[in-house]
Structure 1
Amino acid sequence: MRIEYVELCKTIRKKVKEDCRKHHIRIIEQAVQDGRLRRTRSELADGRRQIAALKQADGNVAGTTPDILHVVKQFYEDLYRKVTSSTDASASHPENDEEEDSVPPILPAEVRHALHASKTGTAPGADGVTVDALRTGADSLAAILVRLFNLCLHQRTIPAGFADARTILLYKKGDAEDIKNYRPISLLSTIYKTFTRILTERIRATLDAAETDEQAGFRRTFSTIDHIHVVNELVQKVTEYRLPLYMAFVDYEKAFDSVENCYVWRALKRQQVPVPIISVLKKIYDEAKSTFCVCDTSVEVDIQRGVRQGDAISPRLFNACLRDVIRSLNWDSKGINVNGRFLSHLIFADDIVIFSHSPKQLQRRIDELVAASSTVGLKVNVKKTKTMTNFPGTASLSISGEPIEEVNEFVYLGQLVSFPRDHYTEIKRRVQAGWNAYRKYKHFLTAPTIAMKLKRRLYNMVIVPTMLYGAETWALTKQAETRLATTQRRMERRMIGVRLLDHRSNEWLRGVTKVVDIVKAARRRKWQWARKVATMSGDRWAKRITEWRPPSARGRGRPRRRWRDIICKIAGVNWMLMAHDVSSWNTLGEAYLRNDCD
C-alpha cells in the first residue's frame, strides 16, 4: 500500500503540474491574440503573500493582527513624518501671496481626453469605479465631472474622501518579516485621478519651460536612451582623448516618499504654476487620508510628506522640487566643458550622475548636493551611491565621513557603463536578459499545439525588445552581431522543435518562424536614433556631446570602435546634414540593413 500511495502522489503532482502548464498556455494564447499581454502578469501570478508576522522596532516578532497593524502604522508614520518646522512650511504657502492668477474653467473635452489617456485594467479605489466604467459613460458623465472639477478648482477644496487612498503591501524579496521588504501600492479613486490628470496637462508646458535638458524623466520627447547615449559618448571620448573623468552615481533613499510638501509648493510657485492649482493641490495633500489594508483589516496612517503614489501629477511635482534644489547649486560653470557649455550632471527622475575632471571638485559638488537635498527632505543613500573613473585609485570620496565605493562598472538606467567602454559585455547582458524572458514563456513558445503566428507575435512583443534595450547606443561589431544572431537561431530552433543534428539551414528556420531579424532590428534602431540625434535642438545634450571633439591629442594607435563610425562610413562625415533629407537617409538605412558593413 505504501508504494501504491507514493506512486499515486507522484501521478497527482504530474497531472497538477501539467494542468497548470496548459492553463498558463491558454491564458497567454488569449492575451497574445488580443494584444493585451500586460494583463497576464496578474493572472499568472502565484497570488499575494499574506503577512503572518512582522518584526517590531525592538527586534521582537509581532504575530497578532493588532500588533502587526501597530508595526505598519508606526513604520509608515515615521517614514512620512514631517521634518520641517511650521515656520518653514508657512513661508511657502501659496495663500500667503497677495497676487493670484486666474485659471480658465475645465472643459468637457479635457475630461474626455483625460479618461482616454488613463490606463485600463487597473485596480479602482475605495469607490470601486473603474476606468472602463467611466469611459463607457464618458458622454453622459462629462458634464457632471466638469461641474465637480470646476467647483474643486475655483473654491480650492475637495469633497470629503475624494482623494483618500487605500494602500496594500506587496512583498518584494528578502526577509518576509521585515516591513522594509514590502512595497506599498496606493489605490486611488479613478475620478480623483482624472482630475489630477487634467491638472497635470495644464501645468505640463509651464514646468517643461522651467526644466532643463539635464532632466529626462517623465518628459515628452525624452527617454532613458538620451542619457545613456550621453554617458556612452562621454566615456568614449575621454578615453580616446586621454582626459580624466570622475563620475558619481547618486541614489536617494525613498526619494518620492520623503520630499517635504512645503518645498514642493514653493517650487511650483517659483516655476510660475498658477496659484489656484497650487492651492487645490495643497488642499488635497492636507485632507487626503491613507488607509493601509493588512490582515483583512485596515489602519489609518498619517501622511505628512512625500508625493502620492499612483497619481499622474506626482512625478511632475517631484521633478519641480528637485529642479529647485539643483538650481540653488549654481553648477552652470562646473563640470565638463562641451563646446562652451558645461555638462555638470544628468538626472532621470531621482537618479543623478555628476561629472567632473577633478576628484576634489566632484567631492565639493557631492557635498553641495547632499546639503541642498537635505533641506527638502531628500537623503542620499551612501551604500547605493557609487563613483567611477578612468583613473582608478586616485580619489577617495565620501559622504558625511562615510566612504563612497569606487566601482569599475555600473548599471546606469539599465545599461552597463564601464572604463573602457565595452559594448560587447553589455550585449552579453542583453542576451542573458532575452533568455530570461524566453524561459518565462517557454511552455508557450515550445508548445507544438500553438500556431507559429502566435509564437512569432509573442517573440516580437517580448523577447526582441528585451534583447535590444539600449541598442540605439551600441557600437556594433561583427562579433556582437554574430552573438545576437546565433542566440536568436537557438531560440527559433526551440520554437520549431528541431535540433542542430537535424541540419536545418538558417534560411529554413527563418522561413518557418518569420520572426524579426534581431541584427536588422538593432541596426534599424541605431539608424533611426542617429537621425533623431541629428535633427535635435542644439541645446540637447545628446546632440551636443555627439558633435563634441575634446581639445586634446588622441593616443597612438587605432581607437576603439565608436558609435558614429558605421554611420560616417555609410552616410559620410556630414551625416547630420544628410539626416535632414528623409528620403536619402531612409535609402542609406535600407542599404545598411541589407549589407555587411563591418
Structure 2
Amino acid sequence: MSQRVQEWEWKRLGNPRRQNRMNQLSFTLDTSVGGSYPPEDNARIGPKSPSFHMTLPKPGKPKGPPQNLRPVTLLNSIRKVLSTIALTRIRPAVENYISCSQSGFRPNRSTSDVVWAHRWISAKVLNYADIEIDITGIDMSAAFDTIDRKQLLQLLTNLVTEDKKRIIQFLLSNTTLNVKISGANTEESFLTNIGTPQGDSLSPVLFIIYLEQALKNVRSTLDSPSNTTEAHLPNEIAYADDIDFIGNQPVNVKKIEEILKVHKLKVNVDKTEHTSVRKHSEEWKTSKKVGSLLGSKEDIEHRKHLSNIALNKMEQIWHKADKTKQRTRIKLYNTLVSSVLLYNCGTWALTKTDEEKLDSFHRKQLRRVLGIRYPTKISNKSLYKKCEQTPISLEVLQARWRLFGHVLRREPSIPANKAMAFYFHENAKRARGRPITTLPMTLNNDLKILQNRSISLTSQKDLETIRKIAKRRQEWTTFTVDIKKAAEAARSDLTPSGRP
C-alpha cells in the first residue's frame, strides 16, 4: 500500500526534496491501517504533532464574550493529506447514509438549494388561500466540539470498511492542541478526547454523519403528517447544524433537545426560532436562513446594505482612483463587494421595478469605484463597457436559471425539488386579487420573453418538461443562453442615455 501511495504522491508533487514528507505519509498509512501506532518520536513530526488552536471573532457579534469566538484548529499538511484520502474513500458510503434533507458539506449541494426550497414554500403560501406553514429552526452550540468519538467510531463500524475506519480512528486518537495566544509563549500542548479537530475537510463530514444518527432518532418521534398539505411538504431542511423542521404546527423543541442530549449535542436555545409563514403577515419575511432573508425584497435590501458596508471599507482606494489601476479596482469590487451583493441572488423574485432599482444601485457603486462624481457624466452603456460589466439584473437572471437547472438535475427527494412539487400540488384555492410576484412567477415571466418556444411554468407537467431539458446539458445551455439573449434584447438601459 505504501508503494502505491508514494507513486501517487511523486506524480502529484514532483519534487525529490519532499521525500521526507513522503516517507512520513507512507509510514502513517502503514501504521494506521495495519493497526499499530507510530512511536512518540515519529508522532511529534507527523500527523500526530500538536495542532495550533486559535479563535476568530464571529462577524456581527460584540467582541469579548467567549461565545462570540469561533475556534479554528491549524493542522499540519501531512494530517490534511491523510484526512483528504480518508474523505475520498468514505464519501460514497456517506452519501448513501446521510438524509437528502442535509445540504451541508456535500457534493453539488449548497446554501442556495436550501434558500430555493424556502422560496417555493413561501410562494405557495403567498398565492394560495388558507395555507399556513410553521418553521422551527434549531442550531447547535459548539457542535464540532461535543462529538463523542467512541459513538462516532461505533457508527462508522457499520458504515465503512475496517481499513477506512482505522485511518479515521488514527486521526481521532491522541490528538493534542496548543492554544495560540497573541504575544504569549504557549508551547505546552494538551490532549483532547472529544470533538473533531477543525481545520481539514474530513471534520465537517464526520460531524454530519454523527448528527444524522441523532436526527434519525428525532424523526422517529415526530408526528405523522396531519393533512395532504403537510404530507407534500419537505418536512426537514438542514445545512450542517442549522436544521428547520417544517409543518402545519411547531415541533416539540424540548423533546428534540432531550434526544440530542443523549448524543452529547446541545441545542443553542438563543438561536431556536419559530417562524409562522402567513399570507397577511410580514414578520416571517425578515427571518434569516443560511444568511438570506425569507422575503425576496427584504433580502435584496439586506444585500444592498451589506455590499455598501463592504464598499465603504475600501473608500480610500475608491477615493484615490489615480493611485490604483482601474483593472485592479474592478477586481477588488467583483471579489469583495459584488460577491456580497449577489449571495444567493438566484433565488430572488424580481419585478421589473426591482430589476431597475437593482441596476441603478449597481451603477452607482461602479461610478464610485471609477471615481466618477457629479458633474461628470457617463452613459450606462459606456459605464458597463468601461467596467467590463453587464446590468446586474442579467447576472441575477443567469444565476436563477443556472440554479434552477442544477436543482432539476438533483434527486427528486431533496428539499428543493420537494418544495417545487409541493407548490404545484393542487390542494388549495388560489387567493383572490392580483398574484404576488414570487420565484415561480419570475421564472415563468422569463420564459414569456422567448419568441420561438411555447413553454411555460404553471403546472407540474410544465416543470417535468423543463426538467427533461435540464438533464440534457447541451440543450439546457442553449435554452438558458436564449433566455439571456432575449432579456438583453429587451433592455433599454444598454443604449446611450447620457445619464450621470
What does 1:379-528 align with in structure 2 at a 5 Å threshold? 379-390=266-277, 409-417=286-294, 422-446=295-319, 447-528=321-402
Equivalent pair of 1:233/1:546 in contact (CA under 8 Å): yes
Distance 1:423 1:175 in 2: 31
Q: Does 1:156 pair with 2:35?
A: yes
Q: Partner of 2:132 in structure 1?
A: 244
Q: Does 1:253 pair with 2:123?
A: no
Distance 1:110 1:239 in 2: 56
CA shift in 2, pair 1:473/1:105, >3 Å: farther
Distance 1:390 1:182 in 2: 32
Equivalent residue letter for 1:187? L
Deviations 1:73-92 (A, max 9, x none): xxxxxxxxxxxxxxxxxxxx
Match of 1:501, SS?
coil
Distance 1:381 1:558 in 2: 41
Q: Does 1:591 pair with 2:486?
A: yes
- Over the matched positions of the two proteins, sequence identity in percent amounts to 21
Gapped regions of structure 2 (runs ≥ 5): 448-454, 493-500
CA shift in 2, pair 1:104/1:587, >3 Å: farther
What does 1:161-200 align with in structure 2 at a 5 Å threshold? 161=44, 162-163=47-48, 164-170=50-56, 174=62, 176=64, 178-200=65-87
- Cα distance, 1:179 vs structure 2: 4.4
Distance 1:199 1:227 in 2: 27
Distance 2:3 2:164 in 1: 12
State which of 237, 240, 258 in structure 2 corresponds to 1:346. 237
Distance 1:438 1:289 in 2: 41
Deviations 1:32-83 (A, max 9, x none): xxxxxxxxxxxxxxxxxxxxxxxxxxxxxxxxxxxxxxxxxxxxxxxxxxxx
Distance 2:330 2:224 in 1: 50
Match of 1:247, SS?
strand
- Cα distance, 1:327 vs structure 2: 1.4
- Cα distance, 1:145 vs structure 2: 4.7
- Cα distance, 1:430 vs structure 2: 0.9
State which of 81, 90, 101 in structure 2 corresponds to 1:203. 90
What does 1:555-570 align with in structure 2 at a 5 Å threshold? 555-569=431-445, 570=447
Distance 1:353 1:537 in 2: 20
Q: Does 1:147 pair with 2:38?
A: no
Equivalent pair of 1:291/1:298 in contact (CA under 8 Å): yes
- Cα distance, 1:457 vs structure 2: 2.3
CA shift in 2, pair 1:109/1:432, >3 Å: farther
CA shift in 2, pair 1:240/1:249, >3 Å: same
What does 1:29-428 align with in structure 2 at a 5 Å threshold? 107-108=5-6, 111=9, 136-137=15-16, 140=19, 144-145=23-24, 147-159=26-38, 160-161=43-44, 162-163=47-48, 164-170=50-56, 174=62, 176=64, 178-241=65-128, 242-270=130-158, 272-294=159-181, 295-331=184-220, 334=224, 343-359=234-250, 362-363=251-252, 366-390=253-277, 409-417=286-294, 422-428=295-301
Gapped regions of structure 1 (runs ≥ 5): 1-102, 117-133, 395-405
Bigger drift between 495-504 and 254-263 goes to 495-504
Equivalent pair of 2:52/2:73 in contact (CA under 8 Å): yes
Bigger drift between 554-563 and 500-509 goes to 500-509
Deviations 1:487-537 (A, max 9, x none): 122122222332243343222322332234312111111121222233333
Equivalent pair of 2:296/2:348 in contact (CA under 8 Å): yes
Q: Partner of 1:572 in structure 2?
A: 456
**How many residues of Structure 1 are paired with residues of Structure 2 in the alignment?**
455
Equivalent pair of 1:170/1:185 in contact (CA under 8 Å): yes
Q: Partner of 1:93 in structure 2?
A: none
Match of 2:150, SS?
helix
Scaled by the length of structure 1, the TM-score of the pair is 0.69
Equivalent pair of 2:346/2:399 in contact (CA under 8 Å): yes
* Greater C-alpha Rg: 1
- Cα distance, 1:186 vs structure 2: 1.8
Deviations 1:270-322 (A, max 9, x none): 3x212233234334333122122332234433422111111321111111111
Q: Partner of 2:497 in structure 1?
A: none
Distance 1:531 1:169 in 2: 39
Match of 2:109, SS?
coil
Where relative contact order (Cα < 8 A, 6+ residues apart) is larger, the structure is 2
- Cα distance, 1:339 vs structure 2: 9.8
Distance 2:73 2:480 in 1: 47
Scaled by the length of structure 2, the TM-score of the pair is 0.82
